[in-house]
Structure 1
Amino acid sequence: MTSAPPVETRRGQFRIVDLFAGPGGLDLAADVLGIPSIGIEWDDDAVATRIAAGLPTVHGDVRLFGPDHPDFEECNVLAGGPPCQTFSIAGSGSGRKALEDVTKFIQRMHAWYEREKAGRKGETWEDIQRELEKLDDERTGLVLQPLRWVFEAMLRPRHGGDEPRPFDVIVLEQVPSAIEVWHQYEKVLKAVGYHAVARVFHTEQYGVPQTRRRAVLVARRTEIPEHFLPPTHQQYRKGVAPADTLFGGRESWVSMETALRHVYARGLVEEAAQRAEPFCVVSNYGSGGDPKARGRRESDKPSATITGKWKRNRIVSRGEPEREMDRLSNEEAGVFQSFPYRYPWRGNDQAQQIGNAVPPRFGVHVLSAALDLGIPGDDVWDRLLLWTVRTPGQATPAEAAAQA
């Protein structure tokens, strides 16, 4: 039996195109893994951050591009996090209606693909697109763009080629309520020859110092293990101390204090800017339906979910009497999202960029599992922690490590 090629060889086989790429969480994950990626992003501010970080970027609308564009002709991995705000209210009437609309469009797109493949006439993508443009919220239609890319890659030759080149791997990530959409994707992708799995994951179970749930879809040409993306850390439960790692083999979740200490220990923060005492984050949102009962999370726990409104949260001391402390900086909030402390946030509404981003550490785990690279080692996490913007021609972190 032929053994699998070494991990370094497999890394070199992949090129990622990242749709709705945002400020670069998934592309940064690819970077520390040594995998080339290029992102498409329309938001000026997120693009400014990406450019400052040196991430390859196409500034534009995903709907105006496809896999046959010259910039993406070598890409064999499709990734992305299409806007899914319309499904964040899935329990409401509008949320259910959005899901029903998307399900019908997914079925129509599958039928369009099968007709095109068989050379039969019928409803075209242009017909479907015109109907999508009539929806009340255009974001409902944007969630279908990755599926369009998948089908176009299966139907049409890439730039300069003679035969269609389907994507080898597909990775999509969004808020937990998007899982129903991913399940619809899952059915269709299996019908056209992919192995696929869609699940909701807890990011603190992968070393992110934050409790955040994400819906992930992975599809690929090869089989996917039943226990795909096994957790490396324990799940955080309020009032429950982490178990001894001897019982289950998983590390404890990572607290805010621990995440900041790792940064301080590497000399990345001037002493005057370091938090020298325990603190508590007091949420801007009420708890249990009571606007006066603000959620609280002590610094020896993982951060609560970093949303786009995190700047509204207060930081107070844990001593008596309680006193106000400096609120989180962009750099600190980025660390709780598992970004490097010195990640170059740019443009306006940086808080929203940080809150919307894919946590890079979680992205590393997802890409490693999807591309069958194995569980990331300490060298990968060191590259992420110590990541800095590269000058033109400078080796990537993975290249530099290989040369050392």
Structure 2
Amino acid sequence: MTSPATSDSAFTNNSCDTEKIHILDLFAGPGGLDVAAHFLGLESTGIEWDANACETRYSAGLQTIHADVRTMRTERFDELPDNINVLAGGPPCQTFSVAGNGAGRRALTEVKSFIKRLVAREESSETIDEELSALGDPRTALVLEPLRWVMAAIENGKPYKAIILEQVPAVLPVWNVYREVLESGDLPGGVKYRTECRVLHTEEYGVPQTRRRAVLIARLAEHGHASMPDKTHKAFTRPKAETAPTGMATLDEAILKEAEHVERPRANRKEREPWVSMSEALRESSKKLGRSEPYVVVSNYGSGGDPKNRGRRTSDQPAFTVTGKISRNVVETPDGQPLPRFTIPESGILQTFPSNFPWRGRDQAQQVGNAVPPRFGAHLLAAALGLEEGRVAEAIEKMDGWPQISEEERERLRKIGCGDKGKCPTKPPHPQG
């Protein structure tokens, strides 16, 4: 039996008072989780070091701090809003992703040991960072940053009531160690969380692409059980030709095996809807652009590890995972005639951003690819906070359009986020790769 929540808590057992929720989004990017929070009626603040993503955020009216998450934690923690009580984020995934150099994948065993060393607090954080950096890519150390924020909040007397983390599937073993330490009572003050970890498929939540993400959802133990969101759509069956790159099949199988959990039977489970296709998602924008159907998308990545063996999807199927290289995906007619490639707004729609979302700055394709799909984010936030299913449905219905803000409001947010720019990062955050 769970302990009752205190009277000033945002949670009442398995649900929450959304007016008291304020989410801190680490590694916030252009704002996928913040967009989800907006449509759910939740307050959020994002920390993002990339100036281009910050310009998109300011133009979208999202509360932003232009800074390195490490600097904010170690030197500027007291500048954060006092009412933050939920932590979310996805550390940079380049070293863990299939498309990256793989330093993080090769160092998984060591990274898991570092997590336990960090919680033991028997050595300095700097020592752990130095050893992590020696593993091959200093960015690998950033996967520990959310745990450091959890510990900092506890030591500051305000433990986060819920935690939502997501990353590429290769990070699932790391999240499982997070789960161990969050539930162990070894955190400062003996604070405990109830935690779930699993690899989720975004097309099973209405996102028109096959994107797999390792997700961790945690709640303070006194606020009830943590659970993954119910699937709303059917899974897309991957064609046989679309196999994992050479050398990754074994890792993928191991990760997915580790991810397997029997779903708890739930009362009144609804029949799932069909997955959403590219043509269905892009129908309105295609009318404006004059994009004809049907069409075929040829992936930028080779299937089976062969660069010449490009995966192919037809317009009546979900898109491949939207990455920062989506502009390199060839779009053509069924008989091979070239068509215009996906625009930034189209790429954003495939990520479930509103069609009029104000993408700004440079490297917009990379911004789109780095983002959490807002529709997926809404399901994650709702599961973590115990929001009713109807509230999620209402939020998703509103995602067709984004409210436009004035230049004055944009400048106000920029002034808050950057100030005199003296604290804004001018190069990639430490540690550099």
Say which is worse superposed, 85-94 or 382-391, in terms of deviation: 85-94
Residue 332 of structure 1, aligned match among 336, 346, 353: 346
Q: Output the CA distance in 1 between the equivalents of 2:388 and 2:79.
A: 31
Return the offset for 1:248.
Answer: 6.8
Return the offset for 1:184.
Answer: 0.9
Taking structure 1 as reference, are residues 315 and 230 closer, same or farther at Cα in structure 2, changes over 3 Å only?
same
Taking structure 1 as reference, are residues 348 and 90 closer, same or farther at Cα in structure 2, changes over 3 Å only?
closer
Which position in structure 1 is the counterpart of 2:303? 287
Contact kept, 8 Å, 1:18 with 1:79, in 2: the verdict is yes
Taking structure 1 as reference, are residues 154 and 330 closer, same or farther at Cα in structure 2, changes over 3 Å only?
same
Residue 81 of structure 1, aligned match among 80, 87, 90: 90
Q: Output the CA distance in 2 between the equivalents of 1:291 and 1:108.
A: 40
What is the correspondence of 1:3-402 to structure 2 with a 5 Å cutoff?
10-66=17-73, 68-88=77-97, 94-112=103-121, 122-129=122-129, 131-132=131-132, 136-156=136-156, 164-192=157-185, 193-221=192-220, 222-224=223-225, 228-238=228-238, 249-261=271-283, 264=284, 269=285, 271-318=287-334, 321-375=335-389, 376-391=391-406
Return the offset for 1:171.
Answer: 0.6
1:122-165: CA deviation from partner (whole Å, max 9, x where unpaired) = 52435444555555422111111111111111112xxxxxxx11
Contact kept, 8 Å, 2:354 with 2:400, in 1: the verdict is yes
TM-score computed with the length of structure 2 as normaliser: 0.77
Q: Output the CA distance in 1 between the equivalents of 2:352 and 2:301.
A: 23
Q: Output the CA distance in 1 between the equivalents of 2:382 and 2:100.
A: 33
Q: Output the CA distance in 2 between the equivalents of 1:209 and 1:95.
A: 28
Secondary structure (helix, strand or coil) at the match of 2:213 reads strand
Contact kept, 8 Å, 2:162 with 2:384, in 1: the verdict is yes
TM-score computed with the length of structure 1 as normaliser: 0.82
- Number of residues paired by the alignment? 363
Say which is worse superposed, 217-226 or 82-91, in terms of deviation: 82-91
Taking structure 1 as reference, are residues 13 and 312 closer, same or farther at Cα in structure 2, changes over 3 Å only?
same
Secondary structure (helix, strand or coil) at the match of 1:250 reads coil
Return the offset for 1:389.
Answer: 2.6
Q: Output the CA distance in 1 between the equivalents of 2:379 and 2:181.
A: 25
The letter of the residue matching 1:385 is D
Taking structure 1 as reference, are residues 357 and 342 closer, same or farther at Cα in structure 2, changes over 3 Å only?
same
Taking structure 1 as reference, are residues 199 and 128 closer, same or farther at Cα in structure 2, changes over 3 Å only?
same
Taking structure 1 as reference, are residues 196 and 252 closer, same or farther at Cα in structure 2, changes over 3 Å only?
same
- Structure 1 residue ranges without an equivalent (≥5): 113-121, 157-163, 241-246, 395-404
Identity %: 49
Contact kept, 8 Å, 1:90 with 1:177, in 2: the verdict is no
- Structure 2 residue ranges without an equivalent (≥5): 6-10, 186-191, 241-268, 411-433
Taking structure 1 as reference, are residues 272 and 125 closer, same or farther at Cα in structure 2, changes over 3 Å only?
closer
Return the offset for 1:32.
Answer: 0.7
Taking structure 1 as reference, are residues 148 and 95 closer, same or farther at Cα in structure 2, changes over 3 Å only?
closer
Say which is worse superposed, 2-11 or 278-287, in terms of deviation: 2-11
Q: Output the CA distance in 2 between the equivalents of 1:387 and 1:358.
A: 16
Say which is worse superposed, 86-95 or 248-257, in terms of deviation: 86-95
Instruction: Name the Cα RMSD after superposition.
Output: 2.9
